[in-house]
Amino acid sequence: MLADLRFHDLRHEATSRLFEKGFNPMEAAVVTGHKTLQMLKRYTHLRAENLAKKPG
């Protein structure tokens, strides 16, 4: 439900999709504003089906 949607929900989603688009951690951190790798990892939730499609 959209009434339950928060900024942090969108940040989680956007951070994860940046990685799926091929951004490296430093690039993603610049876009999202995360100052530490630990916080960046907390906001990243990758989809297994997208990882399976990744070449290499």
The domain tally of the chain equals 1
Cβ proximity of 40 and 34 under 8 Å: yes
Residue 13: give the domain boundaries.
2-53
Tell me the pLDDT band of 51, cut-offs 50, 70 and 90.
low
| pLDDT, position 20 | 85
pLDDT in tens, 7-42: 777 888 888 889 888 899 999 999 999 899 898 888
- Does position 56 have pLDDT exceeding 70, yes or no? no
pTM, rounded to two decimals:
0.69
| pLDDT, position 27 | 95
